[in-house]
Amino acid sequence: MRTQFRLFRYLRPHWREALGVLGVMVVTIAMDVLRPWPTKLLVDQVLERRPLPGWLHGAAAALPGTSGAGGLLVWVCVATVLIVAAGAVASMLETTAAVRLGQRMVYDLGADLFLHLQRLSLTFHRRRPVGDSISRVTVDSYCVQALLNGALHPLLRSGATLVAMFAVMWQLEPRMTALSLVVAPLLALTIRVCGESMRTRHRRRRDLEGRMMSVVEQTLSAIAAVQAFTREEMEYARFRAYARDTASAYVRATQADARFSLLVGLVTAMGTAGIMWVGGMDVLHGRATVGTLLVFLSYLAALYVPLQAGTSTTSTVQSASAAAERVLELLDTAPEVRDGPDTLAGRVRGHIRYEDVTFGYQPDRPVLHGVSFEAQPGEMIAIVGPTGAGKTTLANLLVRFHDPWSGRITLDGHDLARLRVRSLRQQIALVLQEPFIFPITVWENIAYGRPDATREEIVAASEAASADGFIRRLPEGYDTIVGEKGATLSGGEKQRLSIARAFLKDAPILILDEPTSQVDALTEAALLAALERLARGRTTFVLAHRLSTVQRADRILVVDGGRIVEQGKHAELLARNGLYARLCRQQAVFAGPMAALAGSGMPDGAGDS
């Protein structure tokens, strides 16, 4: 519980609303305490004509018509209606205020989870299903509302009600009041016996729900492959299997809750039976009035309601705790890349050095081994090599998606590990193999890295990227909303938007990661011209399998097995007849059949989609 209640720090910003809930709660409890008294007055004062209790003499004297039994009966009826109405209104206001407070806490927690997820490394996200992360942000975040409205609020309400009820009952019948508390240790024992089982089963249910959501997310993200390979039935069966396990876990959790409720009900029923026997004997022997017994039994029922609420809260707490564990597990995951103390002031020159850099994604399995090289300001450095050689990893380290295990990377003499991540990334623009296009307008996509840019700047960037022409042909031009992941655009069009985004950011360092790998030869030529314009005056890194994109580089680094095995200009590397020359020959051999295929009738623009 101490761990889960850490989440109540989200209560602090809403302390005014919390005080409002407590204020209305006091009124509700007061009405609950007053509710049995009209019954006592009806039995003892109206029907048996006993004198009014001393504390009521002053109030009765101020009311007309209370001297006779008939007049008193009228006021008893009026008091009953007023007490019930006031209690109902107060309860409604209390519930509304508590739900409003809980929802605000949920959204605060969900927003923090979402922000924290965005700060975690790419390694973290690659190891965890996206659907599970979504579930923790959008579903498990409701645990804070459950802990507030299903645990803290009921416990405070039950505690305050218990104190008020106990004080009144003690004034009526001290002996029976003491006897009524015998059930408390039994309830505590029930909580201890059943609590852990409920928490474990609710945690299992939550985990299975997250896995089921991951199946949906994974399938819909790869819907083209699912349909192309006709695997709809297989994915359906996979979802049904997880759904079946989730349903079973839900039933087991519900059974644990039901057993707990049954035990609590039996304990309080035994307590009520004992009080009925003792109170009945007192009335039979003249030691108590019927009205007193009725009021006491009403208070006893009211006393056991908060006791039962306090114990049944255990079920809510265990369910919420299972979700809270998942939330805190995420919040407690420390980012692998931490901000350093230094901030880059102004625009950097772009002088970059890798000094004996070693890094891997799994312990004892390095991907890069002691890599060292230097890029001068304004140079274009191409990085080529076989698949899995470590090219993308080299670029990811520069953006600080990860930090090296050993060695260091410097920018204008600043160690990247000492820089604030945001400050560093503001100096870098990326054009990736798979451009990230969001389901928003074209101009918002281009301005994603610079949301304060003017329309004129966005159009200028589009023209520089050779994107303005096709954008103006769209139904609403720059205000056209593109589909999810740019589904309404061709591959070349998406890539030109990505290039325009980089032009607009105008960063001194540029990373091009396979920027033309998914387009045809004609589109590639247009993109290369735009990329050449983009690279002018910037320190540029080009990662490519297509060696046609790197021949004009100032220096080519050939990476194999996580090491730089060759470096130099295109002509120099061909003359050495090493790995780079072999890669060039392989691509030339492969290009022949592909060119023949292209000339055999492939539709124009087929590769640009």
Q: Which residues of 53-91 are buried (b: 16+ CB within 10 A; e: fewer)?
A: eeeeeeebeeeeebeeeeebbebbeebbeebeeebeebb
- Could you tell me where in the chain the CATH 3.40.50.300 domains are found? 352-599
Q: How many CB atoms lie within 10 A of CB 99?
A: 14
**pLDDT (0 to 100) of residue 134:** 83
Tell me the sheet residues that pair with 469: none
The torsion angles phi and psi of 286, rounded to 5 degrees, stand at: 75, 15
Q: Are 284 and 136 in contact (CB under 8 A)?
A: no
Q: What is the CA radius of gyration of the chain?
A: 36
The residue type at 201: R
| pLDDT digits 0-9 by tens, 407-456 | 999 999 999 999 988 889 889 988 887 778 888 888 988 998 888 889 99
| pLDDT digits 0-9 by tens, 549-598 | 788 889 999 999 899 999 999 889 989 998 988 888 887 654 444 343 34
Return the percentage of the chain with pLDDT > 70, whole number: 78
Stretch (H or E) spanning 381: strand 380-384
**Would you state the torsion angle of the CA atoms of residues 393, 396, 397, 403, taken in this order, to the nearest 10 degrees?**
-100
Q: What is 4-331's CATH number?
A: 1.20.1560.10
Averaged pLDDT, 542-546? 80
Q: How many CB atoms lie within 10 A of CB 296?
A: 26
| pLDDT digits 0-9 by tens, 75-109 | 778 888 888 888 889 888 888 888 889 888 888 99
Question: Tokens 């255990």 label which residue?
Answer: 314
Tokens of 17: 């609303």
**pLDDT (0 to 100) of residue 181:** 66
* Helix, strand, coil % in the chain, rounded to nearest 5: 65, 10, 25
The torsion angles phi and psi of 179, rounded to 5 degrees, stand at: -65, -35
| pLDDT digits 0-9 by tens, 515-541 | 776 666 666 677 777 778 888 888 999
The residue type at 417: A
Pairwise pLDDT comparison (548 vs 560), residue with the higher score:
560
The alpha-helical segments, DSSP class H, found in 289-441 are: 290-331, 391-398, 421-425
Pairwise pLDDT comparison (228 vs 365), residue with the higher score:
365
Strands (E) in 15-131, as ranges, are: none
pTM of the prediction? Answer: 0.65
The Cα 165–Cα 62 span in angstroms is 27
pLDDT range class, residue 599, cuts 50, 70, 90: very low
| pLDDT digits 0-9 by tens, 114-161 | 888 888 877 788 777 777 788 888 888 888 888 887 777 777 777 777
CATH architecture of 352-599: 3-Layer(aba) Sandwich (3.40)
Averaged pLDDT, 484-512? 84
pLDDT range class, residue 32, cuts 50, 70, 90: confident
**pLDDT (0 to 100) of residue 338:** 84
Tell me the sheet residues that pair with 566: 558
- Could you tell me where in the chain the CATH 1.20.1560.10 domains are found? 4-331
The torsion angles phi and psi of 26, rounded to 5 degrees, stand at: -60, -40
